[in-house]
Amino acid sequence: MRILRAKHLGMCFGVRDAIDLALRKAAHQPLTILGELVHNENVVSTLRDRGIEIETDLNAVETALVMITAHGTSQRTLDQARGRGLNVTEATCPLVRHAHQAVARFVTTGYHPVIIGKRDHVEVRGITDDRAEFDVILNEADVERLEVRPRFGVAAQTTQPFDRVCALVTLIQKRFPKSEVRFADTVCQPTKQRQSAAVELAEQCDLVIVVGGAHSNNTQELVATCRRHCPRVHHVQSAFDLRPEWFAQGETFGITAGTSTPDSIIDAVEQAITNTGLSRIFEGTKGDANRPQVLESAKCGTIESVFSAG
């Protein structure tokens, strides 16, 4: 058995900084985070264990201090929070903030904003909620529904695959040859690195495990990318989601992870896969009582060791 890790995987600096900020603030006074700080259930659970409140409704916030997530929010929401007398701390990733600024520049210079991303994603809502007019697209059918505009300003949700973004920009240019189409590359570098590394990994593997939150967009995109290059791909949130039968066939197994996945969880997944390999070696040579227990030995992991690596 051979286990390969993607060259780029796991937590990005924006997520690490957001978690660090939340823990430091919560150590001094009660804190409420407006929404999930990051889309990873293990991280969110650990934050709750530290006494941090998480609310999706601003009106339900009871602490004096409220934090905006790494995904950012609209100026309207910030104004509403401050209007209630709340002390607002922003954990917005600087690369998400760059996307906000790019769209704002489009609007002030007369371009109709088009965002490539998922309409209901919190990051996209934060970018668009302050805008009177905008379009959100994700596929060719969405491009076909765009109305004619003299100027289009195109930006992207930071976790969209760059090849998809480029393809949709090209489609807009072809559909509206008489319009001016400007593109601001707002796909973040960690996303590009993880997508590229996922392709390289998947092409070498019999099976790929993608580790990340169930609702993490960048993790879902990694799963889709890997499936284009490897016949067997599974999305797990922790080592407890692994199934020994997945590893009954094949010799090379890959691991990649979304940008909100702690190092400890990735390590636990790798250890569980290693234990599965040992089970295969011993299978048929010793009784069941002596076979290694694959999943029971793997710990889920928390964010305690997030900051110890890289």
Q: Which of 55, 58, 53 is nearest to 74 (CA)?
A: 58
Q: 258 Cβ partners below 8 Å, 6+ apart? A: 10, 39, 40, 194, 210, 211, 212, 213, 216, 218, 219, 222
Which strands sit side by side in the sheet containing 65-68, from one edge to the other? 53-55, 31-34, 65-68, 87-90
Q: How many residues does the chain have?
A: 310
Active-site residue flag, 41: no
Distance CA 184, CA 244 (A): 45
- Burial (0-12, 13-18, 19+ Cβ within 10 Å), 57: exposed
Q: What is the DSSP letter of 178?
A: T
**Terminal-residue alpha carbon distance, the chain:** 27
Distance CA 286, CA 309 (A): 38
Distance CA 92, CA 103 (A): 16
Which strands sit side by side in the sheet containing 252-257, from one edge to the other? 2-5, 252-257, 207-211, 233-236
Q: Which residue in 36, 55, 62, 123 is the catalytic one?
A: 123
The set of catalytic residues is 123
